[in-house]
Structure 1
Amino acid sequence: MGSLLSYFFALFLIGGGYYLGSIKVINQGNQAIVERFGKYKKTLQPGLRQVWLVTERIAVEETTREQVLDTEPQQAITKDNISVEVDAVVYWKINNLYKAYYDVEDVKEAIGNLVITTLRSEIGTMDLDQTYSSRSEINKNLSIHLKEAVDSWGVEVTRVEVQGIKPPQTVLDSLEKERAAESMKKAAIYEAEGEREAAIAQAEGTVKSLEMISKALLEKPNSQDVLKYLIATRYVEANEKLGESSNSKIVFMDPKALTEAMTDLMETPELPIKRDGGNGSN
């Protein structure tokens, strides 16, 4: 009797161990595929699941959450025959684990190769300048092409972002020189335009000043004294500016000769004074 109880107890332990060993835990956000004798049996959802030992096995357990695939930088040729180095980041997730596991050998590698091929093809339709200004358009076109291609793999591409488009250093140096030359050209144009406007303003001011002085001299009876005063003022201002100059030099002049020069400068013919009075002249 005791041996029989021991036998049943041993069977109980073996059966219990077998049952407990068949219980599997599938984590939240994951799915698993179960095969029986090498053939697909079922897909396990998150939670406690039973997989019979010996006859069944979990072939793969994979996340259904969004994943990130960062491709290695690759060489591509633009429409204007310039070699550039490009790379992209793909955000994707598994919608159908059965297709992702059985319909393609390595879904992640397949997506990476498809991204590289599609990216090269897209870059080949654009000039180098377009690749810089059309980054969002490239991302959009890549997403459309990839979504169509990976649908049969049970995979969804949520978005694609081109990280960088880098031409050779010689091209970068050439572009930098071109931008510098363009900036210098614009600066020269602005400077010339400013000088032209300043010259016009100065000329207009000079003309207006001469008109005012001429009008004042014609209307004043002491016009000769006014003219001498203006000439003397200009002479003094010119000497002050000469003295302030950083490269000015000391010049010794004979005071007598200087006085005579000023006297000759200020002794100008009398200006005719316009007077009203009859048709004749005195």
Structure 2
Amino acid sequence: MELAVAVVILIIAVIFIARSVKVVPQQNAWVKERLGKYAGTLAPGLNLLVPFIDKVAYKHSLKEIPLDVPSQICITRDNTQLQVDGILYFQVTDPMRASYGSSNYIMAVTQLAQTSLRSVIGKLELDKTFEERDIINAQIVQAIDEAALNWGVKVLRYEIKDLTPPKEILHAMQAQITAEREKRALIAASEGRRQEQINIATGEREAFIARSEGEKQAVINKAQGEAESIKAVAEANAQAIERVASAIRQPGGEQAVQLKVAEKAVEAYSQVASDAT
């Protein structure tokens, strides 16, 4: 009998301990209620509750959570239908509001993401939806984040995964891309031929300049050679004259000059007489 009572007491003690001791994992927050009313948030680690009075009503992860937003049809400003889907990243920042601000904050965030996406896409033309993905993502985050504060949720970012237009538009876009690619190829080939012609013309011009410079240098060298030759002759004549003058200034030099002049006169006279006969 006593053993049975001891076992019952032990079981009751275990139940009390199990109900009163709670270990919250890291990056988690548990909401505690006391007699059906919010009584606080349990932080990570060991927490004590009052058995049968306190209870853990909600459990939230504080990690970043990826949420797939279902694909939907959006209509652009120029009345083109687009099949769009994306992914949303959010985080619970206020466990109390996440518990009591909405009956299902995940569904609320998903629905708001879809309506915000339709609204943003509806303000853009088809071409802009492909060019301005980053702007679309930022506008959706801003629109959701304002409302999500009441749900204790922080929207971190939104990413469009796919933008799919109707098949006929997709084919037209592909044809346009092909035409643009061919156009760029033609332009590149034309630029290549143009550059080739420029290179040839540049080479010919540089060759002509080189020939002209060579001819110019040859003329300069010839003129310099002639000038040097004239200078050498002039210097030789000057030296000869200087030697003659120096000889005249020597004793007997003047008589020698007169004798030389007389000899030249006789030679000239003889030549004239010879020519006369």
TM over 0.5: yes
Bucket of the pairwise TM-score, normalised by the shorter protein: 0.5 to 0.7
Q: What is the correspondence of 1:37-48 to structure 2 with a 5 Å cutoff?
A: 37-48=35-46
Alignment match, 2:235: none
Measure the CA separation in 1 of the matches of 2:22 and 2:151.
27
User: Which residue, out of 13, 16, 22, partners 1:19?
Assistant: 16
1:107 and 2:105 aligned: yes
Alignment match, 1:95: 93
Letter in 1 for 2:10: L
Gap change, CA 1:137 and 1:19, over 3 Å in 2: same
Question: Which ranges in structure 2 are unaligned for 5 or more consecutive residues?
Answer: 201-277
User: Which residue, out of 68, 80, 83, partners 1:82?
Assistant: 80
SS in 1 for 2:50: coil
Structure ranking higher in helix proportion: 2
User: Which residue, out of 133, 145, 157, partners 2:143?
Assistant: 145
Alignment match, 1:118: 116
Measure the CA separation in 2 of the matches of 1:10 and 1:183.
84
1:138-163: CA deviation from partner (whole Å, max 9, x where unpaired)? 11111211211111111101111111
Question: What's the offset of the Cα at 1:53?
Answer: 3.1
Measure the CA separation in 1 of the matches of 2:187 and 2:16.
88
Q: Give identity over the alignment, percent.
A: 32
Gap change, CA 1:34 and 1:191, over 3 Å in 2: closer
User: Which one has a bigger Cα radius of gyration?
Assistant: 2
Letter in 2 for 1:79: R
Question: What's the offset of the Cα at 1:187?
Answer: 5.8
Alignment match, 1:228: none
1:70 and 2:60 aligned: no
RMSD, matched Cα = 2.9
Q: What is the correspondence of 1:1-282 to structure 2 with a 5 Å cutoff?
A: 9=6, 13=10, 16-22=13-19, 23-184=21-182
Measure the CA separation in 2 of the matches of 1:155 and 1:18.
35
* Segment of structure 1 superposing worse, 35-44 or 178-187: 178-187
1:191-215: CA deviation from partner (whole Å, max 9, x where unpaired)? 78969x99xx9xxxxxxxxxxxxxx
Measure the CA separation in 2 of the matches of 1:185 and 1:163.
30
Residue-pair matches, total:
196
Gap change, CA 1:48 and 1:80, over 3 Å in 2: same
Gap change, CA 1:64 and 1:174, over 3 Å in 2: same
TM-score for the superposition, normalised by structure 1 = 0.61
